[in-house]
């Protein structure tokens, strides 16, 4: 129900590709930094994993909550996977590089589970206080650092 009616991304073999379907007129009349709700309306986030080792497919769907797509992804991992996650992205919207391309970068930090046999799925922050330290450090990265091709 928002400006963007479909956003699809695929990551495979180190390559990322995507497609976005949107209403150009509504986008042109939107404020400079529209909210996530203004962009997508009452949408949802669906993440599908094709697991290379087992050949199985897993999909999780959560409401599109938060101030950004990064926040929505963090919410997905916390709600569906119960894995504390930090997602940061940066896109150079100011101009294009020498070859006419824009630059983007991202950071994904996760507190991964240690195993599921005979114990809790995930040892929480109490067992691994360094997660909080790593997450605080990860939160210091700025969007312009992530989108700088020189870094």
Backbone phi and psi for residue 147, each to the nearest 5 degrees, phi listed first: -100, 5
- Name the 3-class secondary structure at 79: helix
Q: 21-40 pLDDT, tens per residue?
A: 999 999 999 998 888 999 99
125 band by pLDDT with thresholds 50, 70 and 90:
very low
**pLDDT score for 94:** 66
**pLDDT score for 23:** 94
Helix (H) or strand (E) segment spanning residue 16: strand 15-22
Residue 19 pLDDT greater than 90, yes or no:
yes
Residue 3 pLDDT greater than 80, yes or no:
yes
* Residue scoring higher pLDDT (78 or 3): 3
Residue 150 pLDDT greater than 60, yes or no:
yes
Q: 48-85 pLDDT, tens per residue?
A: 888 878 888 888 888 888 888 899 999 888 887 778 88
Residue 117 pLDDT greater than 60, yes or no:
no
Do 76 and 64 touch, CB atoms closer than 8 A? no
Residue 7 pLDDT greater than 90, yes or no:
yes
Tell me the mean pLDDT in the region 98-110: 81
pTM here?
0.76
Q: Which domains does the chain have, with CATH numbers?
A: 1-81 (3.55.30.10), 83-151 (no CATH)
Backbone phi and psi for residue 9, each to the nearest 5 degrees, phi listed first: -130, 150
């Amino acid at each position: 129900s928002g400006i963007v009616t479909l956003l699809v991304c695929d990551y495979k073999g180190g390559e990322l590709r995507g497609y976005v379907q949107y209403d150009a007129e509504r986008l042109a009349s939107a404020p400079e930094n529209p909210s996530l709700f203004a962009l997508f309306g009452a949408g949802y986030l669906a993440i599908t994993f094709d697991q290379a080792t087992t050949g199985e497919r897993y999909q999780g769907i959560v409401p599109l909550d938060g101030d950004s797509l990064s926040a929505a992804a963090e919410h997905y991992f916390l709600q569906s996977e119960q894995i504390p996650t930090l997602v940061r992205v940066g896109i150079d919207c100011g101009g294009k590089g020498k070859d006419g391309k824009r630059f983007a970068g991202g950071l994904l930090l996760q507190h991964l589970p240690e195993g599921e046999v005979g114990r809790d799925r995930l040892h929480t922050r109490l067992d691994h206080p360094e997660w909080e330290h790593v997450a605080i450090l990860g939160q210091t990265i700025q969007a312009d650092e992530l989108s700088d091709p020189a870094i």
